[in-house]
Amino acid sequence: MATQLRTVLMNAGWTHVRTIDVPQPQATLGIFAPRATPGVTALRTWAVRSGLEPDIRRVASLTYPRIVIGRQD
């Protein structure tokens, strides 16, 4: 899922910074961003409409939005 989402976002004009494994991720889909932007809002809307129930957090210390795909229930 992470690879597919990365491809979709890059095709939409987003810039990929890096992909890493996160041990024991806290959410199935986490969207962490320094502030709300049109792109972050669009991602959130897509996730909610897709039934993914994203964990959305404002993290002022981040330079770029961070998308975490992880925990399987």
Residue 31, class by beta-carbon neighbours within 10 Å (0-12 exposed, 13-18 middle, 19+ buried)? buried
Spacing of C-alpha 64 from chain mean position: 11
Q: What is the pLDDT of residues 5-19, one digit of tens each?
A: 888 888 988 888 887
Tell me the pLDDT band of 3, cut-offs 50, 70 and 90. confident
Instruction: Answer yes or no: pTM beyond 0.75.
Output: no
Confidence at residue 2, expressed as pLDDT on a 0 to 100 scale: 77
In the chain, where are the structural domains located?
1-10+37-73
Confidence at residue 49, expressed as pLDDT on a 0 to 100 scale: 93
Q: What is the pLDDT of residues 24-61, one digit of tens each?
A: 766 678 899 999 999 999 999 999 998 888 999 999 99
Q: Where are the beta strands (DSSP E) in the chain?
A: 29-33, 55-58, 66-69
